[in-house]
Structure 1
């Protein structure tokens, strides 16, 4: 079992690189953003709560996020490993994830930090918004999401750095070049 976290601000390329990692390493993908969007599109009670929270540009509370994540792991009993995309976003979530995985005899093996400048993030999101129409890519919400990342989420990195699990990847450049650096980090960690 090989578990990794892909980490970076909105627009860093987590989704793009996750798809490539999944294809090559056959990991099950758990994206909190995808889980939230699925619940919202199905208009579940949880989806309605999450929709309002995201519309306000805030992070979904840990309890909701962790419950959904644990359910997703349980729904993939044959997985050879997981890639966690967009989670954990707080130290409390990282601790909860470690505890949950430990209870299953697993751990986080690697944390990939996609390093991207704020200017690059804004350009990428503006381009993505033209295609996706995602409400969370609106400029006012984007500013809140970027602020959330740099004031709160970034503090998760020292938690994993203390465990020697973080590899920083330059997230600016050609997709294939970035993917090559990611593969080298994964292969070394395996």
Structure 2
């Protein structure tokens, strides 16, 4: 079992890079945002609650995130390797994930951080709103709320993983292919030291 986290602000390219990592390294994806959007599309039990948080640019409550992640991990073979995308986003989520994986006899092996300035992120999210029509990308106020929450809630997890020697920063403003190459160089080092 080899587990990675892909982290970065909204619009940093996590989804695109996650797809490439999943394909190349055969990870099972744990993409919280996609899981939540799936719950909404399928009229899941928590659809109204999830919509309320996502449409206002807020993070969904931890208990709901923990439930979805736990169910998905437990449904996979014991030796599966996971790529966490969009989770964990807060220190309590980091604590939960570290404890949960330890119970499974596993750990986080590395964290890829896609670093992109707010100015570039805003342009990317506006562009994504036009192309994908995602409601959470339509409103500049919601985007700014998401960025503010990222700074307050998610940035601290970087220090947690940096202290463990697991954090790898990548310039997310490079071309998509350059970012992929940089990730692959790190992944190849971690998998085959």
* TM tier relative to shorter chain: over 0.9
- Residues 5-24 of structure 1: matches in 2 within 5 Å? 5-24=5-24
Note the C-alpha offset of 1:68: 0.5
Note the C-alpha offset of 1:75: 2.0
Note the C-alpha offset of 1:111: 0.3
1:47-66 deviation per Cα after TM superposition (whole angstroms, max 9, x unaligned): 21111111121111111101
| Segment of structure 1 superposing worse, 21-30 or 55-64 | 55-64
- Structure 2 unaligned residues grouped into runs of 5+: none
1:136-189 deviation per Cα after TM superposition (whole angstroms, max 9, x unaligned): 112221111011001211111111111110000010111111111001111111
Kept after mapping to 1: 8 A contact 2:56/2:136: no
Find the residue that maps to 1:6 and give its secondary structure: strand
Distance 1:76 1:37 in 2: 21
Kept after mapping to 1: 8 A contact 2:91/2:153: no
RMSD: 1.1
Identify the residue that residue 43 of structure 1 maps to in structure 2: 43
Note the C-alpha offset of 1:79: 6.0
Q: TM-score, normalised by structure 1?
A: 0.97
Identify the residue that residue 185 of structure 2 maps to in structure 1: 184
* Count of matched residue pairs: 190
Q: TM-score, normalised by structure 2?
A: 0.95
Identify the residue that residue 168 of structure 1 maps to in structure 2: 169
Summarize the Cα distance change of 1:53–1:165 in structure 2 as closer, same or farther, 3 Å threshold: same
Identify the residue that residue 156 of structure 2 maps to in structure 1: 155
- Structure 1 unaligned residues grouped into runs of 5+: none
Find the residue that maps to 1:5 and give its secondary structure: strand
Distance 2:7 2:29 in 1: 14
Kept after mapping to 2: 8 A contact 1:27/1:79: no
Distance 1:78 1:109 in 2: 16
Find the residue that maps to 1:157 and give its secondary structure: helix
1:55-110 deviation per Cα after TM superposition (whole angstroms, max 9, x unaligned): 12111111110110111111222663110000101111001001100101000000
| Segment of structure 1 superposing worse, 86-95 or 73-82 | 73-82
